[in-house]
Amino acid sequence: MLKLGTDNSLIWSDRWRLGALSRNELMTIGFVSVLVGFLFVLFHLFGNTIENVSSRSAFTWMFARWGDKQSFGADYSHGYLIPFVSLAVIWHRRADFFAAPKQVCQLGLFVIIAALTMHWLGAKMQQTRISLMSLIFLIWGIPLYFFGWKVAKLLIFPCAYLIFCVPLNFLDGLSGPLQRIATSMSHSMLNGMGIECERVGTQLLSPYFQLNVEAPCSGLRSLLAMTALTAVYAYSTQATFTKKWLLFLSSIPIAVAGNIGRIISIALVSITAGQQLGAGLHHDWSGYVLFTVAISLMVGLGRVLSINKRKLFTSWKKVYLSPS
């Protein structure tokens, strides 16, 4: 029995009842279930080998880092959304996955072995981040082995995007340089606007306001969030590999510009409405200013990169160079 949706698309079929599946299909479902179970056991029960921890789960460790307010981990609070974005990309391109030719690829076996070795090294070194990275390689390598390069090629972005889930502690070292850049640029722009202020380290001092660009205000959190957002935006809107990477890499100066805009807005509000409002209520809500500026720059640059320069030049030539 078939049921059709309002657009006459198939939404259910008795073909997918368990009793209607063929023996090969049941074996495939069973094999996939075993693989998923193996990965769950490997990374949930043996994924976190750090001493004196309450859980051996790499997933529990990762979730704790996402919600950690006392360290850089809070900069990864967007991590909960990343797997859903990857799944959405796969769902959006599901027709391409079904249409892709499938065959066993021996290269995938080497990727799986390398990923398992990577997990073993991460366990020995008590580096849960390395184990989580190995899981990403496994998620990509297993389809590569069973379905071949055509399918694995489609999975490169969704799997690589999962890297944004992994808290990378070395990025915390960027906080200091980002503080100095934001303070220096804000100082120059405020003085260029005719607002005299003095820069002392990461402080901006003026008779009207006193701003201290501390580590949480360095822009690292917005940088990580913007790179994740720009990655999926570039993948979805840009036609060529070069344009995708150009837009993605632009997320770094875009995030820095957004944070500078936030600092300047705090200074302007402090001047016009008082230090208490500028460094208080507006400071707490000025993140919206940051993302408004950053997302606007991202979309604007994406539109510019999407312009067909040859077609635009041809149209311009017809209008301005054609004989009247």
Query: Are residues 270 and 279 in contact, defined by beta-carbon separation less than 8 angstroms?
Result: yes
What is the structure's pLDDT at 10? Answer: 47
Residue 207 has pLDDT above 70, yes or no: yes
Kindly provide the b/e burial profile for residues 165-203, where b requires at least 16 CB atoms within 10 angstroms of the residue's own CB.
Answer: bbbeeeebebbeebbebbbebbbeebeeeebebebeebe
Q: Are the C-beta atoms of 238 and 306 separated by less than 8 Å?
A: yes
Highest mean pLDDT among 11-20, 44-53, 259-268, 287-296: 259-268
pLDDT at site 313: 67
Nearest Cα to 77, choosing from 165, 136, 161?
165
pLDDT at 54 over 70: yes
Q: For residue 198, list its beta bridge partners.
A: 205
The answer on pLDDT for 324 being more than 60 is: no
**For residue 75, pLDDT beyond 70:** no
- Please list the helix, strand and coil fractions of the chain in percent, rounded to the nearest 5, in that order: 75, 5, 20
Phi, psi (5° rounding) for residue 199? -100, 125
Each domain of the chain, given as residue ranges in start order, spans 45-167, 172-313
What region, left, alpha or beta, does residue 277 occupy, with left being phi > 0 and alpha being psi -120 to 50 degrees? Answer: alpha
Tokens 């944070």, located at residue: 259
Give dist(CA 137, CA 121) in Å, integer.
Answer: 14
Please say if the pLDDT value at position 8 is more than 50.
no
Q: Over 60: is that where the pLDDT of 73 sits?
A: no
pLDDT for 210:
81
105 contacts: CB under 8 Å, gap ≥ 6: 144, 145, 147, 148, 149, 152
Choose the weakest-confidence range: 147-151, 160-164, 193-197.
Answer: 193-197
